Structure 1
Amino acid sequence: MGKSASTTAAAALVLLLFFISPSTAEIKTLSITSDTRPMILLEKFGFTHSGHVSIAVSSVSVVASGGSQPDPSRLGFFLLSEESLLQVLTEIQQNPSFCVLDSRYTMHLFTFRKLSPPPAATANYTYPVTIPNEYSIFFANCAPETSVSMLVHTELYNLDADSEHSRDYLSAGQTHLPTLFSLFSVAYFAFLALWIYICYSNKLSLHRIHLLMAALLLMKALNLLCAAEDKHYVKVTGTPHGWDVLFYIFQFIRVVLLFTVIVLVGTGWSFLKPFLQEREKKVLMIVIPLQVLANVASVVIGETGPFIKDWVTWNQVFLLVDIICCCAIIFPIVWSIRSLRETSKTDGKAARNLAKLTLFRQFYIVVIGYLYFTRIVVFALKTIAAYKYQWVSNLAEEAASLAFYVVMFYMFRPVEKNEYFVLDEEEEEAAEIALRDEEFEL
């Protein structure tokens, strides 16, 4: 390999291992066509002491630009732990022509030397993983200017502690996810039942936004239910059996509803005013199409895996869209706070406006806290947690989401005498003084 190719390979290795999250299924058939990349990341999996990796390749075709056949020992598969990543990168930087298959830090599987003779050109091997860890499975192409085409079938699993013949196809850090998602799904269904009861008991104070919030709870509960079934079937069989399709559908509807509810609540739609201003409509027109794009990126990330050439790009698209949407939904809340502050000077209802201002400020803090925790803190947990405890980041994310839903729904619940909107004369006078003090401070 040339120096530029080695540098590119090292950079791609770092990026892929940084972005990758465990995929939807652990039994996969990957189609690689005329690929010249020096390293291709196939999967990432957390193995226990009873882990196994099975790789079958078929329809192998190797084409060199010079016409000569490359050394088959220069093309092969290996495992790499994250602890060994830096050592491998150092070796590549010190020696631009270094082949990663020669590294003592990699766990060799097999090279193309073990393929059956053409035209069959197939191989099928299963290896025990004796040292528990999280490993990335790579295909290395150390033959310069050589393209490879093949079908790769991988099966990654750990043997159950209760039965040596029972396979667990979920990574060691994800084996508890079916139970985790099931429990949170039950919690949201109970939450939905309570919300319906509250809405039914306060029909006179019910607004359209409350019905939309009920739909959001239903989609969140169904999304978690499908996630639980998805992970359960992957754990038992290695494939989701179609539950991933339902998961993506409910995830898309749930995310669109969540951002829409936050925007509508943040603008005071339905319970404070029956209309949206033009700029608020534009926010929704931006957020919803972006969520469509984010959902497409999510499907590509989850269903294809890191072996495709544009996988990192799709990850970057998803992250960029998510950041834009998170920023966009903050603006309507800020506009409401600014509007209430200006209105409080003119309409003579100081207490009511001060109460609304307090409410929207609190909601602003809650939204910011939710976005910060689920985007930054959860990501940090995924990064620093040991591979056996990857489920902790999922637990933290779902717990934060449930807490956010509870706070938001409590703040904007349908009640006849809302503490923010029903105030007496003494509170009115106190609010006028408070608003004057606030204007003085500003």
Structure 2
Amino acid sequence: MAMDSNRLPRFFSLLLFAAAVLFAPALAEIRSTTIRSDARSIIPFDEFGFTHRGHLDLSLSSIVFSNPNADLTQVGFFLTTRESWYHVLEQLNQGEIGCSVQSEFVKRVFTFDQIKGDSFDTSFNVSDSNQLTLVFGNCVRDLKISMNVYSSMYNLDTKSGQRDYLSAGKTSLPWIYFLLFITYVAIAVAWIYVLYSKLLSVYRIHFFMLAVVLLKALNLVCEAEDKSYIKRTGTAHGWDILFYIFSFLKGITLFTLIVLIGTGWSFLKPYLQDKEKKVLMIVIPLQVIANVAQVVIDETGPFGQDSYTWKQVFLLVDVICCCAVLFPIVWSIKNLREAARTDGKAAVNLMKLTLFRQYYIIVICYIYFTRVVVYALETITSYRYQWTSILAAELATLAFYVFTGYNFMPKAHNPYFAIDDEEEEAAAEALKLEDEFEL
């Protein structure tokens, strides 16, 4: 059965919600939401991975309807999975139901005809293990509602009975982040030892590398504490502020480090060209915007009215930053190729060229894995194993840090600068063969 024109806009709004659910991360903290004169047919709140001992607590206050005589059996809260929501869309499309709240495919928490005043409290037990989204449905046309909503979703520990406010697939994140923090601290200590033992071969960029590792470690320990507090209490208790600060600094310093290494700063030359400075002037402000977008998304929830726009801003900025940091590496490779043919030091420049080619490939692999592969892994992985995609991204980052440090570490006899005559001749021959192959 085809939909009539009056139901078409509502159907598309429901379809948009389905897309939002599909691409939204699972959040877990206790959330307070204020709704004012809102006539949307669907208002999604948070998504949460429940175990068989899951609970939802809802507290509503200051409830006001634009039409007190409306049919409130068609207004209420319900829980739904992504798969179930597609069935609801199909029912609405075929005209089998007129209201999503009444569908048998959703877990109805309550409808507003049960409310006898301007406030309401309820607790809903979830006995089926699944990832569910809390949704407010309003099937009464032009009915505007105002209310304050306090929502809390959690699981009860099977042994202690304590509340766990982290989603079922992310409850192990505090330990994962803490172990990664210990790993980066060990790397920082090892790097300090390398700098001390090779002091005569240390450049300024090596100290910058140390700063990047330390900021990453601080970011991880704040993330571990943030998730730990959320797990126990449902709120971050200020640790999220520290996490945002160190995440911001870590993001800026990491992209700056890639640009500086890519330009050969401190290794090949003690200065930056104007075009390289412009890349940094683009990357750093973009990282500020990206971090602002991430804070807004986290604090307003995945389904806030402006969250979709901020997600697009974050994605666009991230793509621009990833592309921008590749240009300096390409410029260095081009300059080294030209120098290898003209300055009589073919072997030296060929070795540098090989190093920068390798680094270019690794940067591309790192960006591709953390932006594409991790996203695909998050999409196809069961909600119970959401931690695996986070761990995969962190391990990829760790491998990138180790690769960068190992290849650009200070060395007393750097193979890229100390080359004998035989190697020089071999490198010149290699360049000659490469030119013939290109021709």
Percent identity, please: 52
Distance of 2:371 and 2:386 partners within structure 1: 16
Aligned to 2:58: 55
Map 1:35-434 → 2, pairs under 5 A: 35-64=38-67, 69-95=69-95, 98-117=98-117, 121-164=118-161, 166-434=162-430
Distance of 1:348 and 1:34 partners within structure 2: 75
The letter for the 2-side match of 1:77 is F
Aligned to 1:22: 26
Q: Contact 1:77 / 1:137 at 8 angstroms: preserved in 2?
A: yes
Q: Contact 1:189 / 1:218 at 8 angstroms: preserved in 2?
A: yes
CA positional deviation for 1:373: 0.7
CA positional deviation for 1:92: 2.4
Distance of 2:140 and 2:340 partners within structure 1: 73
- Cα shift readout 1:111-150 (whole Å, capped 9, x = no counterpart): 1112222xxx111000110111000000011111122211
The letter for the 1-side match of 2:190 is L
Residue 345 of structure 1: SS of its match in structure 2?
helix
The letter for the 2-side match of 1:10 is L
Q: Contact 1:182 / 1:225 at 8 angstroms: preserved in 2?
A: yes
CA positional deviation for 1:96: 9.6
Distance of 1:339 and 1:3 partners within structure 2: 62
Residue 341 of structure 2: SS of its match in structure 1?
coil
Residue 58 of structure 1: SS of its match in structure 2?
strand
Q: Contact 1:6 / 1:97 at 8 angstroms: preserved in 2?
A: no
CA positional deviation for 1:97: 7.6
Q: Contact 1:2 / 1:96 at 8 angstroms: preserved in 2?
A: no
- Cα shift readout 1:305-361 (whole Å, capped 9, x = no counterpart): 134211111111111111111111111111111111111111110000100110000
Distance of 1:151 and 1:419 partners within structure 2: 66
Distance of 2:46 and 2:79 partners within structure 1: 10
| Ranges in structure 1 where 5+ consecutive residues have no aligned partner | none
Aligned to 1:32: 35
Residue 146 of structure 1: SS of its match in structure 2?
coil
Q: Which moved more, 1:273-282 or 1:250-259?
A: 273-282
Q: Contact 1:3 / 1:96 at 8 angstroms: preserved in 2?
A: no
Query: Residues 47 and 161 from structure 1, CA distance in 2 versus in 1: closer, same or farther, beyond 3 angstroms?
Result: same
After the TM superposition, which parts of structure 1 deviate over 6 Å for at least 4 consecutive aligned residues?
A: none
Distance of 1:287 and 1:34 partners within structure 2: 40
CA positional deviation for 1:416: 1.4
Q: TM-score, normalised by structure 2?
A: 0.96
Distance of 2:74 and 2:303 partners within structure 1: 19
Aligned to 1:437: 433
Residue 108 of structure 2: SS of its match in structure 1?
strand
Aligned to 2:12: 8
CA positional deviation for 1:70: 1.9
Distance of 1:418 and 1:369 partners within structure 2: 26
Q: Contact 2:84 / 2:105 at 8 angstroms: preserved in 1?
A: yes
Q: Contact 1:3 / 1:97 at 8 angstroms: preserved in 2?
A: no
CA positional deviation for 1:204: 1.1
Distance of 1:315 and 1:94 partners within structure 2: 32
The letter for the 2-side match of 1:7 is F
Residue 251 of structure 2: SS of its match in structure 1?
helix
Distance of 2:131 and 2:262 partners within structure 1: 43
- Cα shift readout 1:254-295 (whole Å, capped 9, x = no counterpart): 000000000000110111101111111111111111110000
Query: Residues 204 and 307 from structure 1, CA distance in 2 versus in 1: closer, same or farther, beyond 3 angstroms?
Result: same
Distance of 2:92 and 2:412 partners within structure 1: 69
Aligned length: 434
Residue 342 of structure 2: SS of its match in structure 1?
coil
Q: Contact 1:2 / 1:97 at 8 angstroms: preserved in 2?
A: no
CA positional deviation for 1:10: 2.5
Distance of 1:349 and 1:215 partners within structure 2: 34
Distance of 1:320 and 1:136 partners within structure 2: 27
Distance of 1:285 and 1:11 partners within structure 2: 40
Distance of 2:363 and 2:320 partners within structure 1: 15
Q: Contact 2:97 / 2:103 at 8 angstroms: preserved in 1?
A: no
Residue 282 of structure 2: SS of its match in structure 1?
helix
Residue 170 of structure 2: SS of its match in structure 1?
coil
Q: Contact 2:26 / 2:49 at 8 angstroms: preserved in 1?
A: no
Distance of 1:207 and 1:305 partners within structure 2: 44
| Ranges in structure 2 where 5+ consecutive residues have no aligned partner | none
